[in-house]
With several copies, the nearest count.
Chain A
Amino acid sequence: MATAHPELAPGLTDADLLELYRRMVLLRTYDERSVVYHRQGRIGTYAIFWNHEAIQAGATFALGDDDWIFPSYRESAIGLVRGMPAETILQWWRGQPSGWWNPADWNVASIAVPIASHLPHATGLAWGKKLKGEDAVAMAFFGDGATSEGEFHEGVNFAAVLGAPVVFVCNNNQWAISTPLSAQTRAQSLADKASGYGIPGVTVDGLDVLAVHAAAHEAVERARSGGGPTLIECVHYRAAPHATADDPRAYIDLERVEQERANECVGRFERLLKDAGVLTDELAAEVKQACEDVMRAGIAAAESEPPADPELLFTHAYVDPPGNMRHG
Chain B
Amino acid sequence: MAELTLVEAVNDALHTELARDDDVMVLGEDVGRAGGVFRATAGLRDRFGENRCVDTPLAEAGILGSAVGLCMAGWRPVVEMQYDAFSYPSLNQLITHVGRYRWRTGGRMEFPITIRMPYGGGVRAPELHDDSPETYYVHTPGIKVAIPSTPADAKGLLAAAIRDPDPVVVFEPKLVYRTARGEVPEGEHVVPLGQARIARAGTDVTLLCYGAMVPVCEAAADALDVSCEIVDLRSLRPLDEETILTSVAKTGRVVIVHEAPRTVGFGAELAALIAEKAIFDLQGPVLRVTGFDVPYPYWSIEDAYMPSAERVASAVRSLF
Contact = CB atoms under 8 A, between A and B. Distances in A.
Direct A–B contact present (CB less than 8 angstroms) = yes
Nearest to B293: A325
B109 interface: yes
B1 interface: no
Contacts of B125: 44-45
Interface of B: 25, 29-30, 32-35, 37, 51, 55-59, 61-62, 64-75, 85-86, 88-89, 92-93, 96-97, 101-110, 124-129, 141-142, 144, 164-166, 194, 237-239, 241, 262-263, 288-295, 297-302, 304-305, 307, 311
Contact of A102 (B29, B33, B108): B108
Q: Which 9 pairs from chain A and chain B are nearest by CB?
A: A124-B69, A120-B65, A128-B73, A154-B62, A316-B107, A178-B34, A124-B66, A310-B304, A95-B299
A145 B72 contact: no
Contacts of A310: 301, 304
B298 A114 contact: no
Contacts of B89: 114, 149-151
25 contacts: A94-B300, A95-B124, A97-B298, A97-B300, A100-B106, A104-B109, A113-B127, A113-B129, A114-B85, A123-B69, A124-B72, A128-B72, A129-B73, A132-B75, A148-B59, A178-B32, A251-B34, A317-B294, A318-B142, A324-B262, A328-B262, A328-B288, A328-B291, A328-B292, A328-B305
A176 B56 CA distance: 11
Given A102-B108, A323-B238, A155 B51 contact: no
Contacts of A149: 58-59, 89
A243 to B, nearest CB: 9
Interface stretch (A179-187, A257-265, A271-279): A179-187
Interface in A298-328: 307-310, 312-320, 322-328
Among B73, B103, B124, which residue has the most Cβ atoms of chain A within 10 A? Answer: B73
A309 B263 CA distance: 24
A123 B77 CA distance: 14
Contact of B298 (A99, A153, A309, A314): A99
B292 A157 contact: no
B75 A131 contact: yes
A161 interface: yes
Interface string A92-117: 11111101111111000111011101
B13 to A, nearest CB: 20
Given A148-B58, A157-B59, A104 B108 contact: yes
A318 B166 contact: yes
Instruction: For chain A, give the interface size range.
Output: 35 or more
A93 B107 CA distance: 19
A3 B169 CA distance: 55
Given A150-B59, A179-B33, A320 B69 contact: no
B311 to A, nearest CB: 8
Contacts of B37: 177, 245-246
A125 B301 contact: no
B297 A312 contact: yes
A231 B18 CA distance: 35
Contacts, number: 270
B74 to A, nearest CB: 6
Contact of B51 (A93, A123, A131, A324): A131
A131 B35 CA distance: 21
Contacts of B67: 124
A289 B62 CA distance: 44
A121 B97 contact: yes
Given A117-B93, A318-B166, A325 B69 contact: no
A76 B170 CA distance: 32
A80 B185 CA distance: 53
Nearest to B82: A177
Contacts of A121: 65-66, 68-69, 72, 97
A124 B65 contact: yes
Given A310-B304, A314-B294, 15 more contacts: A101-B106, A105-B108, A117-B93, A117-B96, A120-B61, A124-B70, A126-B73, A131-B25, A176-B29, A178-B33, A179-B29, A313-B294, A324-B239, A324-B241, A328-B291
A70 to B, nearest CB: 9
Interface string A155-175: 101100100000000000000
Nearest to A116: B58
Interface string A38-68: 0000001100000000000000000000001
Nearest to B125: A45
Contacts of A316: 102-103, 105-107
A178 B126 contact: no
B60 to A, nearest CB: 8
Interface string A134-156: 10001000000110111101110
Given A95-B300, A177-B34, A322-B293, A125 B73 contact: yes
Contacts of A207: none
A92 B299 CA distance: 10
A323 B241 contact: yes
Contacts of A319: 102, 107, 110, 165-166
Contact of B33 (A120, A155, A250, A318): A250
A184 B106 contact: no
Nearest to B108: A102
Nearest to A151: B61
Given A110-B104, A184-B57, A324-B239, A100 B62 contact: no
A66 B96 CA distance: 26
A204 interface: no
Contacts of A37: none
B76 to A, nearest CB: 11
Contacts of B294: 313-314, 317, 325
B92 to A, nearest CB: 6
B305 A313 contact: yes
